[in-house]
Structure 1
Amino acid sequence: MISKEKQKVLDYFAKGRNFYKLMEFEKAKEEFAKALAIDPEDGPSKVYYARCLHYIKNPPPDDWDGVFVMTTK
């Protein structure tokens, strides 16, 4: 069974992913931030939060397929 805290993290992450797919990166970032406020070590939320910051500054093209292209290793 999952704890209530972990369920909240999962719920915020799911909402964030939905906004992310819709290219609503500010809203997505807010949801990932809520997840990280509960669990600062949540890896997926950290990754997507960082990607949102990137896409807010560097918006993807209108035909973006959701794939994040790494430019550094």
Structure 2
Amino acid sequence: MIVTEKMHQVVALYNQGLALYKERKFTEAKATFQKALQIEPEDGPSQLYIERCDDYIAEPPPEDWDGVYNMKTK
């Protein structure tokens, strides 16, 4: 597989978004994942974390949150 500059940019943004997510900065994380999608609209991991950020923006996790996402539906 050939790694392109575009892929490097998406991975860098995803990693930045993930760090923000783990710091409970869900609005900033969502914006970063959205930047990754502007480069690669089919980036599944960024799409998934945008949904999770939306959930946590609407209903923040408890103070003792360990970073694990608990699915609400099957």
In the TM superposition, structure 1's runs of 4+ consecutive aligned residues that sit over 3 Å from their partners are none
Equivalent residue for 1:72? Answer: 73
Equivalent residue for 1:39? Answer: 40
Instruction: Give the SS at the match of 1:65.
Output: coil
CA–CA distance in 2 between the matches of 1:56 and 1:45? 16
Query: How far off its partner does 1:25 sit?
Result: 0.2
Pairwise CA RMSD of aligned residues? 0.7
Residue identity (%): 47
Give 5+ residue unaligned stretches, structure 2. Answer: none
Query: How far off its partner does 1:61 sit?
Result: 0.5
Query: How far off its partner does 1:13 sit?
Result: 0.2
Query: How far off its partner does 1:2 sit?
Result: 1.2
CA–CA distance in 1 between the matches of 2:31 and 2:64? 24
> What is the total number of aligned residue pairs between the two structures?
73
CA–CA distance in 2 between the matches of 1:69 and 1:32? 20
CA–CA distance in 1 between the matches of 2:3 and 2:66? 32
